Amino acid sequence: MDIQAIGLAQTSKSAPQPEPRGNVAARKPEPQQAPPPAQQKAEPTPQQLQQALQTINRKLSSSTSLEFSYHEGTKQTVVKVTDKETGDVIRQIPSEAALAIAESIGEFQKGMLLQQKA
């Protein structure tokens, strides 16, 4: 059995042959099929949305509070969601880790600027 013949037979069946380069203008673009229409989700009515927001706000106001502060190192506003009963921080945006990274990047940039000026 000839190995080269097997390789040629497989490539001729599976791989399309490239068109000659000189015939580019004669090629017609293949029509693109439109993507299938997305299934549309039913939008809530304004009354349903208002009712859901009132329920969420009522639940949150009884157990949590929002605290806004300013982080000097990064000059960013920080929002904390805290538990009213325990005082524990439930969520902070941006997180302490993100603030620390931003602050260290700022200090690094200041150092590079001072080195370039010197």
Integer-rounded Cα radius of gyration of the chain = 31
CA dihedral 21, 26, 27, 30 (to 10 degrees): 170
SS3 53: helix
pLDDT digits (tens, 9 = 90+) for 54-111: 888 787 777 888 888 999 888 899 999 999 889 999 999 999 999 999 999 988 887 7
Sorted by where each begins, the domain ranges of the chain are 63-118
Given a cut of 80, whether residue 118 has pLDDT beyond it is: no
Which residue did the predictor score with more confidence, 105 or 112? 105
pLDDT of the residue at 44: 83
Rounded CA separation 108/114 (Å): 10
What's the mean pLDDT in 40-58? 84
Residue-wise pLDDT tens digits, 7-31: 554 444 555 555 555 555 556 666 6
Quick count: other Cβ atoms within 10 Å of Cβ 98? Answer: 14
What is the rounded average pLDDT of the residues 38-53? 82
What span, in angstroms and rounded, lies between the C-alpha atoms of 81 and 61? Answer: 11
